Structure 1
């Protein structure tokens, strides 16, 4: 059965992915001013402080990639680990992205109804943590919809891929992923 799951994950990872900056974890110290500013942007976005700047970048990229077709896309973020974090991070952001692009707001149709530890806080039990299902979907909403998944940071892509698979089980067609940043560990 693991092979089917690996295939499903890879199917999502093979779809188009876009990110705006490189994210170097705080433990990576030999970075320049741009990398420090990008790291701060990620932190500020996660705390709900940089949603306008990230919404502008996201909308600009969506309009470049999909043009007027944005009106046929549902914009759906990978839910944060708690209801409070999810609202802080995504409610105003998703509203603004959809206002700028004409996309349909998927945030309103997914609810975080429980809490789980974030994966980076619990690496030893990473596989166990990832299995916790604490998200409720407005299932009929996603049926037959083209969905662009958004997440703040992509590292391996497992959170994105698993969420995309959940959406596709509801009848959605995930067209790819858009991310504020991609994790890098080596400075070039």
Structure 2
């Protein structure tokens, strides 16, 4: 099923909160803060800062939603392979949900195969994937979902993932992103 730009626009009009601005490495004149954010994000992607970032995310989830956090399902957009997904999100999602009371969707989304991450290729729009993602569709039906991803660049991964969850009967309330890519002229 093809997703229309109006469906994506609907997702982009929802809550989209980023913790940090992320300056890509192609920009050579980076401040110490830019390098600190890069390092945090890169280490998070490698599973090394899971608990630190989980505390940050859980605190913000509680700040935004209070006691209602217990009725929210926390769903991470899968990484590019099963192993990277486990490394990046298993401990992290467990801890976010433990600290916030949210419901963890990690065990209800399964990654098979792998795809090239967009930053690993020369082309970003015509990327062919060999990854499949299986969802426990019944689990998501009727649930309020908060989506998480490490980096928000243009928002297509977030919108596509959110639309998919809504096709299963979920209601996506928005997304949290560790970093948002800054696109400078």
The reply to whether residue 156 of structure 1 matches residue 173 of structure 2 is: no
Question: After TM superposition, what 4+ stretches of structure 1 lie above 3 angstroms from structure 2?
Answer: none
User: Is the Cα–Cα contact under 8 Å of residues 112 and 131 in structure 2 kept in the other structure?
Assistant: no
Aligned length: 185
Query: 1:150-185 deviations in whole A, cap 9, x for unaligned?
Result: 000000000010000110001100000000000013
Which residue of the partner structure matches residue 132 of structure 2?
A: 134
Q: Which runs of 5+ in 2 are unaligned?
A: none
TM-score by length of 1: 0.93
Which residue of the partner structure matches residue 144 of structure 1?
A: 142
User: Is the Cα–Cα contact under 8 Å of residues 86 and 112 in structure 1 kept in the other structure?
Assistant: yes
Structure with bigger helix share is 1
Structure 1 residues 125, 60: closer, same or farther in 2, change over 3 A?
Answer: closer
User: Is the Cα–Cα contact under 8 Å of residues 28 and 185 in structure 1 kept in the other structure?
Assistant: no
Which residue of the partner structure matches residue 104 of structure 1?
A: 103
- State which drifts further: 52-61 or 112-121: 112-121
Which residue of the partner structure matches residue 84 of structure 2?
A: 85
Q: Which runs of 5+ in 1 are unaligned?
A: none
Q: Provide the secondary structure at the position in 2 that maps to 1:124.
A: coil
Query: 1:96-126 deviations in whole A, cap 9, x for unaligned?
Result: 0000000000111000012111122224262
Which residue of the partner structure matches residue 8 of structure 1?
A: 7
Q: Distance in 1 between matches of 2:115 and 2:179?
A: 22
| Deviation, structure 1 residue 128 | 3.9
Q: Provide the secondary structure at the position in 1 that maps to 2:126.
A: helix
Structure 1 residues 8, 123: closer, same or farther in 2, change over 3 A?
Answer: farther
TM-score by length of 2: 0.95
Q: Distance in 1 between matches of 2:137 and 2:105?
A: 11
Q: Distance in 2 between matches of 1:50 and 1:59?
A: 14
Query: 1:20-79 deviations in whole A, cap 9, x for unaligned?
Result: 111111121111111110010000000000111110110011000000000000000000
- The 5 A counterparts of 1:1-188 are 5-124=4-123, 126-129=125-128, 134-186=132-184
Q: Distance in 2 between matches of 1:103 and 1:156?
A: 27
Q: Distance in 2 between matches of 1:186 and 1:30?
A: 11
